[in-house]
Amino acid sequence: MIDDAQLKDIRADTPGLAQGAHLLACGSSLQPRPVVDAVINHLKLEAEIGGYEAAEDNATAHEGVYDHIAAHINAAPEEIAVVENATVAWQHAFYAIPLAPGSRILTAEAEYAANYVAFLQRAKREDLKIEVIPSDASGQLDTAALEAMMGPDVGLIAITWIPTNGGLVNPSAEVGRIARKHDVPYLLDACQAAGQVHIDVKALGCDFLSVTARKFLRGPRGIGFLYVAKRWLKTIEPAMIDFFGAPWTSRDAYTLRPDARRFENWENAYALRAGLSTAMTYADQIGIDAIEARVSHLGGLCAEMAGALPGVTNMDLGVTKSGITSFKLDGADASVITAQLRVSGFSVGTSGPGTTRIDAEKRDLPTLLRIAPHYYNTEDEITRCVKRLGELMSERR
Ligand SMILES: Cc1ncc(COP(=O)(O)O)c(C=O)c1O
């Protein structure tokens, strides 16, 4: 549990809160001071002594990012590649997984747009089929339906654990159990899960997992990571390589690195790595279980309070709810309301149908208003934001 004294310290560590109530952790959350310091200190060192020299002098700290990530997700450091963002992490895995012509890719209704367009591209190029696993009555992925869809031609299960909108938490560990049973590769998008819920890659049974730093992890923008299960490291060949991931070992040959860093390039954002490393430590010091409990509590409050306003309907799905709440606004444009809330000191966001098209088409969703508190937010900030939303909505009637 995060108690009042701890919350006070956390908020004192979060300079951005002085600017207003930031309630958009699913977009990009507020970084704590130690993360900002880690990034700036490394940039300053680069300016003072040069980029290569700064990387060399901070080498131990930079290597530490693999240990921090691995400890946080119950993996080994050699199973981690640090890359630019969740999309790049996901793409590295997806485009490297061998799929025989005619094989089926199984995904979920709330799959993220960036992933789905990549399915479409490979399907077009390689004669693959994309099949969407139906949701159950609660709106979460139906694991019985998934089990019924399995067969020898399933080449991949790729789903999003916590989608970008809709409050949903898909049963990712149960999906992993089915993937393992049928020995099918399982690629899990954990972009919105990291820093919000407990991640244990062994319990999830996933082969690959993609994450970004800037959302619930409170890291800087422009960095993320990929987990690659050890069993893949003997065989998996990245779709693109450079001489860091695959050293040029003789004139006509290269040798892949033995670890997941075969997916990395030689050039790196060392300042951002320092920030990511610090963000992982920061989350672990607070404790992911305490974070999960508070995010769930604050998300539930948002859903209940904003959903009770006239003209505002909570659109969240699933049995277990994430901290990302989404609302349909009657007679109001969510983008305009978002801009007006921002002027009033409340940062919230929108989510358009193009981000989760299958779900949006099924439920005929317009652009939704998204409110996603983090553990550093307070009940008071949510109450004031909902009150202002209510005022803006009543001005439209
Ligand atoms: C579910 C999900 N997956 C992937 C991404 C892409 O993350 P990134 O922008 O870091 O590549 C997002 C971004 O919002 C997301 O919500």
- Residue 80 sits in a domain whose CATH number is 3.40.640.10
Total domain count, the chain = 2
The pLDDT value recorded for residue 28 is 98
Distance between CA atoms of 207 and 229, rounded to whole angstroms? 5
pLDDT at 396 over 90: no
- Residue 13 sits in a domain whose CATH number is 3.90.1150.10
The pLDDT value recorded for residue 62 is 86
Are both 40 and 21 inside the same structural domain?
no
Q: What is the pLDDT of residues 273-282, one digit of tens each?
A: 999 999 999 9
Average pLDDT, the chain: 97
Q: What HEC string does 59-100 produce?
A: HHHHHHHHHHHHHHHCCCHHHEEEECCHHHHHHHHHHHCCCC
Can you spell out the DSSP letters for 260-325?
GGGGS-S---HHHHHHHHHHHHHHHHH-HHHHHHHHHHHHHHHHHHHHTSTTEEE---SSSB-S-E
Residue 165 banded pLDDT, cuts 50, 70, 90:
confident
The pLDDT value recorded for residue 329 is 98
Write out residues with Cβ below 6 Å of ligand 1: 85-87, 112, 114, 160, 163-164, 189, 191-192, 212, 224
User: What mean pLDDT is predicted for residues 303-318?
Assistant: 98
Ligand 1 centre and the CA of 114: distance in Å? 8
Are both 214 and 266 inside the same structural domain?
yes
Q: What is the pLDDT of residues 187-206, one digit of tens each?
A: 999 999 999 999 999 999 99
With a CB cutoff of 8 Å and minimum separation 6, the contacts of 285 are: none
Ligand 1, residue 163: give the atom nearest the CA.
1
The pLDDT value recorded for residue 61 is 84
Are both 265 and 372 inside the same structural domain?
no
User: What mean pLDDT is predicted for residues 372-388?
Assistant: 98
Please, are residues 98 and 184 in contact by the beta-carbon 8 Å criterion?
Answer: no
Are both 240 and 274 inside the same structural domain?
yes
Element (H, E) at 354: none
Distance between CA atoms of 392 and 225, rounded to whole angstroms? 40
Ligand 1 centre and the CA of 87: distance in Å? 6
Ligand 1, residue 214: give the atom nearest the CA.
10
Are both 21 and 42 inside the same structural domain?
no
Are both 164 and 204 inside the same structural domain?
yes
The pLDDT value recorded for residue 166 is 86
Domain limit, last residue, from 233, 268, 285:
285
Are both 266 and 291 inside the same structural domain?
no
Report strand pairing: 349-351 vs 346-347. Answer: unpaired
* Residue span of the structural domain in which 315 resides: 4-28+287-395
Q: Which of 162, 192, 197, 317 gets mutated to test ligand 1 (max ligand atoms within 8 A of its CB)?
A: 192
Lowest mean pLDDT among 13-27, 57-71, 137-151, 280-294: 57-71
Are both 226 and 203 inside the same structural domain?
yes
Are both 15 and 85 inside the same structural domain?
no
Ligand 1, residue 160: give the atom nearest the CA.
1
Q: What is the pLDDT of residues 203-228, one digit of tens each?
A: 999 999 999 999 999 999 999 999 99
Better-predicted residue by pLDDT, 165 or 242: 242
Are both 201 and 132 inside the same structural domain?
yes
Q: Which of 29, 112, 159 gets mutated to test ligand 1 (max ligand atoms within 8 A of its CB)?
A: 112
Domain limit, last residue, from 285, 312, 342:
285
Are both 104 and 128 inside the same structural domain?
yes
Distance between CA atoms of 21 and 373, rounded to whole angstroms? 9
pTM: 0.97
Domain limit, last residue, from 285, 314, 345:
285
**The Cα angle at residue 220 between residues 176 and 211, in degrees rounded to 5:** 10
Ligand 1 centre and the CA of 190: distance in Å? 9
Are both 327 and 384 inside the same structural domain?
yes
Ligand 1 centre and the CA of 86: distance in Å? 6
